[in-house]
Structure 1
Amino acid sequence: MGATFSIKDLGCLNYFLGVNAIFTTAGLFLSQAQYIRELLAKFDMSDAKPVQSPLSTVPLQLHQGNQLFDAQPYHQLVGSLQYLALTRPDISFAINKLSQFLHAPSDVHWQAAKRILRYLKGSLFHGLLLRQQPISPLHAFSDSDWAGDKDTYHSTTSYVVFLGSNPISWRACKQKTIAHSSTEAEYRALAAASSELVWIKHLLHELGHLVSECPAIYCDNVGATHLSSNLVMHTRMKHIVIDLHFVRELVDHKVLQVSHISSVDQLADGLTKPLSSRRFAQL
């Protein structure tokens, strides 16, 4: 490339587009600490008092407080936080929640956005540690909060995919329709995680990394776990029949397996409940 283009070797990667890359004996640590410092300075939060969680226990709703006269700072902050989620999955749920009020933010939503900055100041050096492992099984955790949105009563889908002990993909998003039960909400999250897991499996295969073991998805809902392999129960869940057959076929062909896990060990819980983010951030 040097013979064709004018390029310069800058050595090992250490900073790129707001992401610090630190090579250690344990692996590659990705952090956006400098980006967070710049964000705190931009919004005059450098001296703010840190907090232990990105959101408070009071649920955010659309019609709260007084609508902001100038919503531009709110839009800028939420947009900046969305980029920060590149290495901070622990704030994914909070960002997803605040993004739902971009069309009409209030002073309550603005204070909630600044609370995330206070949380980030107290967890400045959290990030992703990508460890080099000879054997890296692919697995995922899926979770959902049933009717967690108090404006529309839609549930939130969340999942996190691991390659070995390394988190490589995660998501927190509001489901498009109302779930009739917690099992339905959990199964929709399970279907989303299954789709992502299959895509990553094919991608790794194209990159030359063969996944020898059958990938597992861990779900803390017993009903959703049984539905993935029990055809008899399918007649009672006709309103999500596409998701049912999608996951059931993957399990039947041994493309993946669905296993039950206790709520205490559910890592995706940190993407649906704000107070669980602290534990998830320490991975």
Structure 2
Amino acid sequence: MFLRYIFDMLEEFGMQNCSSVKTPLPTRDLSDFSESDSATDASMYRSIIGKLIYAANCARPDLAVAVSFLCRYMQSPKSIHMEAAKHTLRYLKGTAELGLEYRAQKVYKLVGYSDADYAQDKQDRKSFTGYVFILSGGPITWACRKQVSPASSSVESEYMSLSDASKECFWINQLLSLCKIPVPLPVTMFEDNQGCIALAQNPVFHRRTKHIDVRYHVVRHYIRSGGFIWSILILK
């Protein structure tokens, strides 16, 4: 059914015979454009992004970063942004048969991954939050979005992302409980920044962390309640 959705989307925008690419976004920096770049059909651009949002939210977590980035230019897209959106469609052409797969398990174990892209936006220097939760062999919820305020360090941006992930984890556990699906606690959350882990486990305020918004410290509550097992994810 979702394969049909992708093919219909490609046909709607005249991309059914396009060549495929291997990445959801082009390597060119989309935030680096001049005022001389021509405007594009904003209505068509929004229509493409709307359909990509549905795909990213329902069955294609690999589109989350690309869609989050393209959404920033919905108001007044330039030709460079339309090219990037069509690049994402070309990526879908080559990966149309990809999808989510879940396997039956005797014990359903929930595992989460949290990460952040520090100061990725060159215009306002805000970071991006990203997390995904795996259950029954496949992702059940994921997110990629810009953080509401700039972070002063990579540790702080990772901590803000981890806070959002912990709140999502709490909601997932509540939902699974209502569905009568037992999930053993604590939940394993993978985080690749040791400074962030130390900050989350140590509730002591000092001059480098006292400016962090109080709402992000909710992750400490979940740690003290035994909701997580902390692990280091070694990236290779």
Alignment TM class, shorter chain as reference: over 0.9
Q: How does 1:1-283 map to 2 (within 5 A)?
A: 20=1, 32-61=2-31, 63-64=33-34, 66-85=37-56, 86-232=58-204, 236-243=208-215, 245-264=217-236
CA offset at residue 233 of structure 1?
6.0
Distance 1:69 1:91, change over 3 A: closer
Deviation at 1:236, TM superposition (A): 2.6
Query: Deviation digits for residues 67-116 of structure 1, max 9, x if unmatched?
Result: 42531110100001101111000011000100000011000000000000
Q: How many residues align?
A: 234
Structure 1 residue 263: Cα displacement: 2.2
Counterpart AA for 2:31:
Q
| Separation in structure 2 between the aligned mates of residue 154 and residue 115 of structure 1, nearest angstrom | 25
Check conservation: 1:154, 1:179, Cα contact below 8 A: yes
Name the SS of the counterpart of 1:170 in structure 2. Answer: strand
Is the deviation greater in 63-72 or in 184-193? 63-72
Distance in 1 between residues matched to 2:216 and 2:86, nearest whole Å: 40
The residue number in structure 2 matching 1:27 is none
- Contact 1:183–1:224 at 8 Å: present in 2 too? yes
Aligned equivalents of 1:105 and 1:156: distance in 2? Answer: 21
Q: TM-score, structure 2 length as denominator?
A: 0.94
Q: CA RMSD in A?
A: 1.6
Structure 1 residue runs of 5 or longer lacking an equivalent are 1-19, 21-31, 265-283
CA distances 1:209-264 after superposition (whole Å, capped 9, x unpaired) = 22223102111111111111123465531122525531111101102233221123
TM-score (norm 1): 0.79
Extract unaligned runs of 5+ from structure 2.
none
Mapped to 2, the partners of 1:76 and 1:197 lie a distance apart of 32
Higher radius of gyration, 1 or 2 = 1
